[in-house]
């Protein structure tokens, strides 16, 4: 088989991304201006899928049974690279995680690789993945079979520093509901059973628990229902909590201890408790050979990625679920100054700046170049698989 000129193909994908600069910037800013929550990303999904389709690629919408998921695949034979696009936003904050940039970068990377596939053996698959912020959309798509034949999965994440191996914790959601009995809060409070008191008591117990939890783990939540009026003893209260840890065994231990806080509050107040756990977001496990390839490509484009800082964590993501079934990478690239927190209004503003758009295009080029490395170098596929199998 004729030797693949990877360097020439890498130069071409950089040119392809640059040629789409105006379109990519406009697409990212349009999605930023119209943030949509998990499973409701109709504008973002349609905008990205339409752009892929108008570029000449076939698109399957509603992929994996999810209305706002989509898939496009190009090439034949050889290894298969999946490039993942995220595009959901956060309640109240909008694109405070930069998914407007991440989804657009993945589309750009896919199209750039697609346009040079004549010189490569293998396939590239773009997967539009909804509901990263809430709902574990990728876990649903894994069950639907969208990753069963993938050799390498990749995406980038917007951040406040360039980091190749971010610590992203395993995480599970706990939804709780207390049921009590309504009564007049002034005339006959003794006739009621206060569901809000139960929730506050449970939250106090969780706060006390935090003192004796490992420093690498997290417990946090919000009240979603605290009653209807101050003169009515609340007959219902509800909350959603997140429990996180880099250690799956310890996560299971924390689940038992957190649930006990709510069970104890139910017993103390005489309320009925309903509690349900979500599926787990798995810990991100960066594939070293793929990460090394991405780092080299990013450096050639002017960005040097650092290892993780001691004690840092970047929350959780369902990309961890993908990386538990196939080799993958999820590097961070800075769109703002170090110290600007994600999921903040400041980060939302940063995700629409010229600096952010420049980073988005660079990420697209680096992802495309790394996809070329996978398709052109059988040894990289082998080493990525060996690292994946060795880390399980």
d(C-alpha 35, C-alpha 93), whole Å? 9
What's domain 172-277's architecture?
2-Layer Sandwich (3.30)
| pLDDT < 70: residue spans in the chain | 1-3, 392
- What DSSP line would sit under 229-243, residue for residue? -TTB--SEEEEEEEE
d(C-alpha 52, C-alpha 371), whole Å? 18
Give domain limits for the chain. Answer: 6-168+284-390, 172-277
pLDDT the model gives residue 213: 97
Sign of CA dihedral 109, 297, 167, 96: negative
What's domain 6-168+284-390's architecture?
3-Layer(aba) Sandwich (3.40)
pLDDT the model gives residue 58: 98
CA angle 99-103-106, nearest 5°? 140
pTM: 0.94
Would you give the DSSP letter of residue 118?
A: G
Q: Which of 87, 75, 157 is nearest to 128 (CA)?
A: 87
pLDDT the model gives residue 1: 46
Q: What kind and span of H or E run contains 370?
A: helix 354-376
């Amino acid at each position: 088989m004729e030797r693949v000129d990877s360097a020439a193909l890498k130069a071409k994908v950089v040119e392809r991304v640059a040629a789409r600069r105006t379109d990519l910037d406009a697409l990212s800013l349009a999605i930023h201006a119209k943030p949509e929550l998990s499973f409701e990303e109709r504008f973002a999904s349609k905008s990205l899928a339409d752009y892929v389709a108008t570029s000449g690629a076939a698109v399957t919408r509603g992929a994996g049974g999810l209305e706002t998921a989509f898939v496009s695949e190009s090439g034949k034979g050889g290894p298969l690279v999946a490039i993942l696009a995220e595009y959901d936003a956060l309640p109240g904050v909008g694109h405070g995680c930069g998914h407007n940039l991440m989804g657009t970068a993945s589309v750009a990377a896919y199209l750039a690789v697609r346009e040079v596939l004549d010189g490569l053996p293998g396939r590239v698959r773009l997967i539009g993945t909804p509901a990263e912020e809430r709902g574990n959309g990728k876990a649903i798509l894994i069950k639907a079979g969208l990753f069963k034949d993938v050799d390498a999965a990749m995406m980038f994440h917007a951040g406040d520093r360039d980091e190749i191996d971010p610590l992203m914790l395993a995480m599970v959601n706990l939804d709780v509901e207390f049921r009590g009995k309504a009564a007049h809060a002034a005339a006959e409070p003794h006739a009621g059973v206060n569901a809000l008191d139960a929730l506050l008591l449970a939250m106090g117990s969780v706060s006390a628990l935090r003192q004796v939890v490992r420093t690498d783990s997290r417990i946090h939540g919000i009240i979603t229902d605290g009653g209807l009026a101050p003169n009515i003893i609340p007959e219902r209260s509800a909350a959603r909590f997140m429990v996180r840890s880099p250690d799956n065994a310890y996560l299971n231990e924390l689940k038992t201890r957190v649930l006990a806080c709510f069970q104890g509050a139910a017993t103390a107040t005489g309320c009925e408790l309903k509690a349900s756990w979500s599926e787990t977001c798995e810990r991100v496990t960066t594939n070293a050979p793929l990460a090394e390839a991405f780092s080299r490509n990013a450096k050639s484009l002017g960005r040097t990625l650092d290892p993780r800082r001691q004690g840092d964590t970047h929350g959780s993501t369902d990309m961890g679920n993908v990386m538990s079934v196939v080799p993958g990478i999820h590097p961070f690239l800075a769109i703002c100054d170090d110290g600007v927190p994600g999921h903040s209004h400041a980060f939302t503003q940063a995700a629409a700046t010229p600096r952010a758009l420049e980073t988005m295009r660079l990420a697209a080029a680096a992802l495309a170049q790394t996809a070329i490395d996978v398709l052109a170098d059988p040894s990289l596929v082998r080493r990525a698989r060996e690292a994946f199998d060795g880390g399980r």
